[in-house]
Amino acid sequence: MFLSTDDFHIMDHISELRKKIAAELDQEEIALKNHRSLIDSLHLLDTQLQEAVSARLQLTTEHRNLEYALATLDIQVDEIKTEARNLPDRVAIFLHQHQARRQNIRKLVTLALVQQRAISRLAHMRTCEEQHREAEIKLLKKAREKQVWLAEKTKQLFEQNEAVTAERAAYDREAQELQEMVEHKLLPHIEEQEKIALFNEIEAKRREVIRREQEILVEGFAEDVRRVEEASSAVANSELAELEAQCEAMFRKASDLQVRVQEQEKIRMLSNNIGDLCLKPPDWPSIRYKTVTRINIAYKAPAGPIDLSTMQCDDSAFNVTKVRTRLKFALEGPWANGDFRCVFHVKNERGKEYVGKIFILRRGLEKDTRCAYRTIKMAVLAEQSAHAFESVVGAAMQAVKSSAKNWRFDFCKGFLVEIKDPMFKSNQVEEKTDDLTCMMIEDKLDSRLYKKMSGFGVIPPQKDHAEGRTITRVCEVLDAFSHWSWHASNRRFMVVDHQGVYTVENRVHKLKLTDPVSIK
């Protein structure tokens, strides 16, 4: 059976109709599904509408509560504004009281130093007076013994003189009797008796010469005793006058020191207010290089972990090396002043800037070098203690699940050089012959220098809240370091007076500190 072309067309048309019917059935099924989903969405919307109505009621109630709270906050804001108006006066009063308290503390420290030096001088005066008194007593004792001896000798001489006088009287009587005997009976024996009389006269003269020599000796001894007494009195008076002059000079120096401390306090307050922006930088091209001897001091750290309880501070625990180097010194005037040191600009050949510190009370090259050497050793030991504390603070932060787990402590590396005293006329050298002093040189930190903790363990307040919280956390870590150093060293020392720069790099909290103080 053969199909025609029309039959094929009809079959194709039927297949197309079947496809359309299948597609319409599919669309109808999809529409049915959509209808069911819309019905579900409608039920969901009804539920949400009911929830929205209840939420609106709840929001209305909360709105009323917020209006009441807003009214209460307005009252509190008015009270806070009133307190804020009074706050500058209270702050000014507090700052004035704080400054007065600091000035009183400085005066008390100065008076204590002056009193201690005066007490030591008075003790020395007392010792000298006791020594002079003992010397005078010994001399007087010897003089009395000599006087007693001379009195005994004089008594013996007088007794001998009386005996001689008695003998002479006897001789005179005998001579009278002999003369009568000669005149009457013994004329032949007159020459012999004259010879005897002449011998007696010679003996009397000899005894008179002895007596006069003894009197001269007694007078000489008395003159020597008088001279010794006058010399002792003159020496005591001269030493007393010298001690009084020294005490007066000490009082003048203490008064001058107090005036200088007050002036330095004013300069420090002014520099803290204006910052480094108003300071003129050094004219480095006009300053020449100077070749000096650089003294490096390093601690002989033993192998293994650092033990603060066995750390030594004597000279044998440090390596001291000396090298020649060239530096530029801006010595026209101090860059800044502290309580004990003033600061100058220093620069090396590679352009790196340092700060050079010299003591305000310069007392000669030997004493300045000894004090600077002790300061450098203190910084080196503080750095060793801080490195030992890094693992401790890391473990503590990990225990409390803090994000600040990695801490690194560094101290400015310092070294010493000998230079000519830039303020030679104001030093405290008694004989103005030593014009050299010792300068401590260390890395220059950024201009924003935070004072983390004072020498008495006080953390300063911060005005900026965001920055204040960060600095307070850093201060708490440094406070923990101070207490840990006291405990780990078996109460041998405590590292305080932390100051330096705080940064965070790659989640590592870095502290670069300077000028530590060790309390024993």
Q: What is the reported pLDDT for 462? A: 55
Q: What is the reported pLDDT for 329? A: 95
Task: Please tell me the distance from the alpha carbon of residue 365 to that of residue 436, in angstroms, as a whole number.
Answer: 6
The residues, any chain, with a CB within 8 Å of residue 336's CB and separated by 6 or more, are 271, 342, 343
Q: Find tokens 């830039």 and name the residue.
A: 422
Query: Strand, helix or coil at 458?
Result: coil
pLDDT per residue, tens digit, the chain (520 aa), is 555 677 777 888 888 888 888 888 888 888 888 888 888 888 888 888 888 888 888 888 888 888 888 888 888 888 888 877 887 877 778 778 878 888 888 887 787 777 777 787 777 777 777 877 787 788 778 877 877 777 777 777 777 777 767 776 776 677 677 666 656 665 555 566 556 555 566 666 766 777 777 677 667 666 766 776 676 566 656 666 776 677 677 777 767 767 776 776 666 566 555 544 445 678 899 999 999 999 999 998 777 788 888 888 888 889 999 999 999 999 887 877 777 888 999 999 999 999 999 988 877 788 888 899 999 999 999 999 999 999 888 888 888 878 787 899 999 989 999 999 888 777 777 766 668 889 999 999 876 556 555 555 555 555 554 455 666 788 888 889 999 999 999 999 899 888 888 888 888 999 999 888 887 7
pTM over 0.75: no
DSSP state of 352: -
Q: What is the reported pLDDT for 261? A: 64
CB contact at 8 A, 471 and 462 = yes
490: left (phi over 0), alpha (psi -120 to 50) or beta: left
Greatest extent of the chain over all pairs of C-alpha atoms, in Å: 236
In the structure encoding, which two tokens stand for residue 144, read together? Answer: 């009395």
